[in-house]
Amino acid sequence: MFRKAVGAVGFAAVLTMGVSVAQAEGDAAAGEKVFKKCKACHVIDSEKNRLGPHLIGLFGRAAGSVDGFKYSKAMAGSGITWDETTLDAYLADPKGYIPKNKMAFPGLKKDADRANIIAYLKEATAGS
C-alpha cells in the first residue's frame, strides 16, 4: 500500500515538473508585450541605466553587478545569479524574494507572464 502511494506521488511530481518545464519555455512574442511594464525603468538594447539597471547580459550575471548603477545593499549582497529560476522567483515577488531591495514594481503574479517575459529576455539580452 505504501509503495503504491509513493508511486502515485512520484508520478504526480513528474507530471507537475513536466507542466513547469513547459510553462518555463514561455512565448517570447508575448513576453515582449509584458516587458512594456518594465520599459520605464529598464533597457535591453544598450548599456544605459535608468531608474533600474540595463538588462544586457542578464542571464548568468550576478545580481547587483552592473557598473554605474547604485544598488541597495540587499541586492548587492544577495549572492544571486540571474537565471530562469531566480528571475521567475524575483519577478513573482521582488520585495519578498530580496527584502529591502529598491525595485518598487509589485511583481508579475501570473505564471504565464513570467515565463513569457523570461523567454523574451533570454532572446533580447543574450547577444549583447
| Burial class (CB within 10 angstroms; exposed 0-12, middle 13-18, buried 19+) of 88 | buried
Which residues span the domain enclosing 65?
2-126
Total count of domains within the chain: 1
pTM of the model: 0.79
Q: What's the CATH number where 21 sits?
A: 1.10.760.10
Reference 79, options 55, 59, 61; nearest CA is 61
Angle between helices 111-126 and 84-92 (to 10 degrees): 130
Burial of 117 (0-12, 13-18, 19+ CB in 10 A): buried
The one-digit pLDDT tens for each residue of the chain (128 residues) are 444 444 444 444 444 444 344 345 899 999 999 999 999 999 999 999 999 999 999 999 999 999 999 999 999 999 999 999 999 999 999 999 999 999 999 999 999 999 999 999 999 998 64
